Amino acid sequence: MNAPTFPELHLSEQALRSLDRAGYEHPTPIQAQAIPPALAGKDLVGVAATGTGKTAAFLLPIVERLAARPSRGSPRALVLAPTRELAVQIAEQLHRFGDSRGVRGAVVIGGVGMSPQTQALRDHEVVVATPGRLVDHLAHGTARLDRIEVLVLDEADRMLDMGFKPQLTRILARLPRARQTLLFSATVGDEVAEFASSHLRDPVRIEVTRSGTTAARAVQQVFLADQREKMPVLLALLAADDLSTLVFTRTKRRADKVARVLERAGHKVARIHADRSQAQRRMALEGFRNGFYRVLVATDIAARGIDVADIGHVVNFDMPHVPEDYVHRVGRTARMAASGRASSFASPEELDLLRGIERLTRAAIPRGEVPRESPEFRAELERAAAAEANPGAGARPAGMNRNRRRAAAHHARRGAAETPASAGSKPATPRHVGSWGPKRHKPSRSGPR
Ligand code: AMP
């Protein structure tokens, strides 16, 4: 059977024009399967990870519905997403399809002021929100949800994993019963299935990757390395190609540490985790997206749903504790038509986690050979050993001091684009973006910083 075209999905002329402007030529499988039932008003469970085109699969039908019967006053569609980044990305896609049709999105997320959101909640047609902040608005009486016609739960598995169930329940209690509900999830475990059966009506189920499958095109490898070897392996892998690389670590502190070592080795690296301000996260993401940073180091929660086309290489510096996270993470690479690499580092104490992943994905991850002969591997192992043997003097403290000085000089040159929020009494976030802007298209992948 031939894949359908966008016109065959019964989208309006205006929608087809906006797709044309966005440069989308053919529907992705989730779009081909989800758009017709969504347009017909059916409830839907879509099993699809980030990178499959699921956002347009739910936004296009929403825009079609709202634009067909315009009415202002309070929002008519609500999209819930687990992280701020994902909410912002959904709203960006909504601009593409909604702007020309008079359908606007209010972004309701934490970390920024509530009052501009209050205004947007009054007169925008779609609300794109993280559950926590929307509940705050409900508590303040600044959000009305009684005219919601369509609810989207995006990355439902992650919202439940993150403990948002109480917030979701409170939000759902405020929605009209007669509504359409579209639920998207990369994996469907018991909790998601139970949630879907209590809140959706006779949903159509669509699955573009089987629950538990990993991105089919990603070349996966696992390196059995002890903790001391992880950093050297990472440096050796980075030296072996110039792919854009997303590195996941277990904790915020480890993310900071990995980023520091990579920076010292001359890599352009940004970080995303919960202790970074909204502005810092946004700049890290933008810089990674446009190639200014080659490496983005992130904790899983913060990086969830990141929409960056063409991530070449995903590295699990630490094995994910929840096997489903492996599927999510590997889904960041091999998106759309691109192929990618996924490398995971498993220390002896993480072997059980590795087995859990292999059980879930029903496939053994090929073992990679630890590149112990690579110069980068050896140099880093030696540097770390020297620093450990002699912490009071020599390599490490001097290196770190020099590094801090270099980082400070670098920040000054870049107009303090990455100045930590704690140091910033500077109020003007937009100015940071502006001062950082001119360097956006000058990817300098090596060289001194
Ligand atoms: P998503 O899975 O919704 O996060 O989408 C992943 C990326 O694919 C986004 O950057 C979209 O802009 C892009 N995309 C979605 N649908 C299409 C399509 N039909 N053709 C080309 N690119 C698309």
User: Atom 8 of ligand 1 has which residue's CA nearest to it?
Assistant: 53
Assigned token pair, 434: 């502006």
**88 CA to middle of ligand 1, Å?**
15
Q: Let me know how long the chain is.
A: 449
Going from the Cα of 185 to the center of ligand 1, the distance in angstroms, rounded, reads 16
Q: Domain extents for the chain?
A: 7-207, 218-389
**CATH class for domain 7-207?**
alpha beta
pLDDT score at 280:
87
> How far does residue 53's CA lie from ligand 1's centre (Å)?
4
Distance 324 CA to ligand 1 centre (A): 22
CA pair distance 438, 237, nearest whole angstrom: 30
Q: What is the pLDDT of residue 380?
A: 95
pLDDT, position 300: 73
Supply the pLDDT for residue 324: 80
pLDDT, position 345: 97
- Check residue 130 and give its pLDDT: 96
CA of 55 from ligand 1 middle (Å) equals 7
Integer Cα distance of 108 and 155 in angstroms: 17
Ligand 1 atom closest to 49 (CA): 2
pLDDT along the chain (449 residues), means of 10: 84 96 90 96 91 92 94 91 91 95 95 92 95 96 96 94 92 96 91 94 84 59 95 96 91 94 95 85 88 90 63 90 80 54 94 90 86 94 90 46 43 34 28 22 35
Predicted confidence at residue 404, as pLDDT, reads 44
> What does the alpha-carbon distance between residue 97 and residue 92 come to, in Å, rounded to a whole number?
9
Given this model, what pLDDT does residue 392 score?
62
Integer Cα distance of 314 and 296 in angstroms: 10
Q: Which superfamily is assigned to 218-389 in CATH? A: P-loop containing nucleotide triphosphate hydrolases (3.40.50.300)
| 7-207 and 218-389 share one fold | yes
Atom 6 of ligand 1: nearest residue by CA position:
51
**d(Cα 353, Cα 195) in Å, to the nearest integer?**
26
CA distance linking residue 73 with residue 437, whole number of Å: 37
> Which ligand 1 atom minimizes the distance to the CA of 25?
20
Nearest CA to ligand 1 atom 21: 24
Nearest CA to ligand 1 atom 15: 53
pLDDT of residue 209: 60
